[in-house]
Amino acid sequence: MGAHRAHREDEYGPDDATAAEARAVLVRDIVAGGALDDPAWRAAFEEVPRHVFVPYYFVSRPGGYERLWSGDPDPVRQRRWLKGAYADGPLATRVRDGELISSSSQPSLMARMLEELDVRDGDRVLEIGAGTGYNAALLAHRLGDAQVTTVDLDPEITESARTHLAAAGYRPAVVTGDGARGCPERAPYDRIIATCTLPSVPTAWLAQCLPGARILAPFATGLIALRVGDGGADGNGGAGGVHRRRYAEGHFLHTAAYFVPLRGTPVAPGASGGGPMAHRPLGGLPRRTIENDLFRFLLALTAGSLDPHEALSLWERERRPGRERFGITVTGDGQWAWLDDPAGPYVWPLSGP
């Protein structure tokens, strides 16, 4: 689908040649890291101008943040801005009262997630978390504007994303709303991708998916890939109609992923799968273990269900399993995480009844 779109450079700093050179370097770095095997996604990253979506961003410094922006009259600082826009790293794009509330994700991680989404021509995609609009532009480049919907709770974020998308020549649907509720008015979807960490999987998403749909979302410092299935009719559809029961199940990818949390409506009572670990009693656990990335993933995945010492026993007994050995099952009756097999001995709830 990816025909080149004309975009305005004058409002966003560099000329076409300078930006294209920086973009080519980024793509080479992503490819060297093992991503963008799919030519369609490589073309999207080669043509969608990331700098248009980050006309300013914040870099941390002692005591706060420094703002870099495209219109800086200092050419040295403007070059710093452009270099950062095409570095393979996340960018803080919105900070409120010292708290990061929106960012542009690391491009190589975005590339891996988009490839793992496994889209096909004609697929309808719902993105949860509009951010800068860059990810929606990549999706629109690959699938076409009409196939892409992106949702965010914050009207300032959606308005900014819509402006960036138009400047780059893309016009997918940008909706202001609670991402936990999905976007039923544009359903059904073949794919859902979230760019924010979930505390649990919103069951509203399942109802808006076609059977066989794929959901890819950050969860507990990892990425869960779920396949949606049809459990049949539940008979409660009201006058002459029926609702279809949906379920979803799948494994985590091996990739680590750290995103800002989903904001908005609580998605399940007692949900804790993506929650913080700061208040968990970790006394007596070896410091080296606590700092281990894979163990911290397990701590996040078992928060509210397993005592940290129980989690450590499981981790050591199973020889320090990686993320890809874990999975999640979602039904209308609840959500469970598991190790190796949803019918195996290691299963625990992610949310209350």
Query: How many other C-beta atoms can be found within 10 angstroms of the C-beta atom of residue 95?
Result: 17
**Omega within 30 of 0 (cis) for the link into 345:** no
- The active-site residue, picked from 70, 102, 108, 200, is 102
- Residue among 90, 21, 89 nearest 49 (CA): 21
Across-strand partners of 223? 218
134-143 helix and 155-168 helix, angle to the nearest 10 degrees: 50
Rounded Cα gap, residues 165 and 132, in angstroms: 9
CA 219 to chain centre: 9
Across-strand partners of 130? none
Query: How many other C-beta atoms can be found within 10 angstroms of the C-beta atom of residue 345?
Result: 9
Contact 82, 112 (CB under 8 A): no
Contact 69, 51 (CB under 8 A): no
User: Strand, helix or coil at 103?
Assistant: strand
Contact 213, 294 (CB under 8 A): no
Q: Is 105 an active-site residue?
A: no
Beta strands in 163-284 (DSSP E): 173-176, 189-194, 209-219, 222-233, 244-251
Backbone angles phi, psi at 55, to 5 degrees: -60, -20
Tokens of 29: 């770095």
Residue environment code for 30-63, b if the CB has 16+ CB neighbours within 10 A, otherwise e: beeeebbeeebbbbbbbbbbbbbbbbebbeeeee
Burial of 79: CB neighbours in 10 Å, binned 0-12, 13-18, 19+: middle
Residue tagged 């138009």 (tokens): 166
User: Known catalytic residues?
Assistant: 102
